[in-house]
Structure 1
Amino acid sequence: MSTRTRTSTSARPTGAEKPGAREHQRTDRAALAARRLRALARAEFTLLGRNRTVIVTALLVPLALPFSVRPALDRMDLEATGLSVGAVMLTAAIGFSFLFAVYTALVSAFVARREELVLKRLRTGELGDGEILAGTTLPAMGLGLVQALVLSVGCAVLLNAGAPEAAYLTVLGVVWGLVLCAALAALTAAFTRTAESAQVTALPLIFVSMVGSGIAIPPEVMPDRLASVCAFLPLSPAIRLVQGGWTGRLTGYEAQGALAIALAWTAVAVFAVRRWFRWEPRR
């Protein structure tokens, strides 16, 4: 009788024995995914530290380039636009960090990992495609975030940029800029044949963003029609949120418009990556 009782009990579904079994399984899967993601990100961070060219580009260029635009800023009538040199250089520094610490570094990383068959081998394991892409981008995005914090403090203290008027908009702009640069880097890598040509294929977005997105030239000093067109460039919404949050000169309507454009570009970039990203070497 006791044997039949044990048999009957063992025949029950697991969910009947433990009502929260599914929730525990989901938690376990999430924990495993987090561990895999941390391991991949740690490996990518190690590889990033060994690439001296990428490190120099990512660390020094965003710090040096803003000072190269200082002479041009001195010739502009920034007071008429309500901007200060410190606020403009802060925006430029964070924008250069987007382009060189995140975008350029990740284009090189994606192409190098693909050509070395690293991405192909990772796909044969337990990692999903999204986890592979996320793990590859995390070190560069973390570097860009730390750089943005350091640059913000440095510009506020050394260039009298002051404190942000709407810090949440600046933070939102930084985060969105990092995410969009990572997505655009994966898309650019899909059309890059070799790691050596990654610097070339990244140039169009770098040049367009520097000139038109408000990194090197504030939109306030552009002709109105040109500024309206440049507002739709990929990085323009993030730069606008960073600067508008710092100066407090961005209205709620303008912030919503920038967020809508940023969301549209993010959706397009994610769709394009899902459609065209290559996991094997280009032949």
Structure 2
Amino acid sequence: MKPWALLAVAELKLTLRSPLVAATAVLAPLAMGLFLLGNRELGGAGIVSMQLLALLGFTLYAGGTTTLAARRQQLVLKRLRTSPASDRTIVAGLMLPLALLVVIQAAILIATTIVVTDTWPHTWWPLVLAVAGGTVLVMGLAFITAAFTGTPELAQVTTLPVFLALFAGGLWAGSTPPDEVTWLMVLVPGGAVAQLVQLGWDGAGLSVSTVLPPLVAMVVTGAAAAYLAGRVFRWQPRS
């Protein structure tokens, strides 16, 4: 088995054994996703976009920040970095379990939404891009936030601004007609995810001109987050 896979299996076991991370990454997003099903005014696209943002915000962003802060405090990151494993291998091993949880939870919630609302996505590939692009973005944001998070418990505070921005951006772009969505809306975290879900679910206004802004925004913000994460992230506690 590859080193990153071994690390990912070990990290998944640690994640499920931690009450704080398990509640943040597993229970909270599923509970919120099911709660959103009661708001039929959002429509299928609105419900799914908010569900995906809940998964990205709780499972991957907050859960990832908590995990990174905990492993650094336990000196796990320091020991891993002195091993033959590269930084990319370590990052993949630490974040892959949470990313897989997002995919599994997304499949469950989307299937449930289809059954409950009796609606169906017009086109699937924008939803896939929303999950993939959103995953890359919030992973970078998790590493950035973890740089300023001294303890796992502190993550409940440090993640709050970005968490709120995810939902604010999603609501802003999701409540705007596709042809009226601006670049600013999709550059705000969560905006591009909501826009892609809206386009894929309803199929209204689905064209190159409408898909290009959220795709470009995801690439730009994801690349910027990854670059900044590499610059500011700390692998060991401050002395």
TM-score, length basis structure 1: 0.77
> What SS does the corresponding residue of 1:140 show, helix, strand or coil?
helix
Aligned CA distance change for structure 1 residues 165 and 189 (closer, same or farther; 3 Å) = same
Higher Cα radius of gyration: 1
**In the alignment, which of 216, 222, 231 is matched to residue 275 of structure 1?**
231
Q: CA RMSD in A?
A: 2.3
Q: Secondary structure at the match of 1:161?
A: coil
Q: Distance in 2 between matches of 1:115 and 1:135?
A: 18
Q: 1:89 to 1:219 in 2, by over 3 A?
A: closer
Matches within 5 A, 1:25-44: 35-44=2-11
> Are positions 1:54 and 2:21 aligned together?
yes
Does structure 1 retain, via aligned residues, the 8 Å contact 2:174–2:191?
Answer: no
Deviation at 1:237, TM superposition (A): 1.2
In structure 1, the residue matched to 2:152 is 195
The alpha-carbon distance between structure 1 residues 108 and 275, as it changes in their structure 2 partners (threshold 3 A), is: same
CA apart distance, 1:218? 5.8
Larger relative contact order (CA 8 Å, sep ≥ 6): 2
Q: Distance in 2 between matches of 1:70 and 1:37?
A: 36
2:128 counterpart of 1:177: no
Answer yes or no: is 1:112 the counterpart of 2:70: yes
Alignment match of 1:242 (pick from 192, 197, 221): 197
Tell me how many residue pairs correspond in the alignment. Answer: 237
In the TM superposition, residue 185 of structure 1 has moved relative to its aligned partner by 0.5
Distance 2:167 2:190 in 1: 9
Identical positions, percent: 34
Native 8 Å contact 1:90 1:161 kept in 2: no
Return the letter of the residue paired with 1:186.
F
Aligned-residue offset at 1:70: 6.4
> How far 1:282 moved relative to its partner?
2.4
Letter in 2 for 1:220: S
Q: 1:70 to 1:154 in 2, by over 3 A?
A: closer
In 2 relative to 1, CA 70–211 (structure 1 residues): closer, same or farther, beyond 3 Å? farther
Whole-Å separation in 2 of the counterparts to 1:93 and 1:73:
13
Partner of 1:231: 186
The Cα shift of 1:69 comes to 5.4
Partner of 2:170: 213
Which ranges of structure 2 fall in alignment gaps of 5 or more residues?
A: none
Displacement of 1:269 after TM fit?
Answer: 0.8
Query: Any residues of structure 2 matched to 1:145-184 within 5 Å, and which?
Result: 145-162=103-120, 164-184=121-141
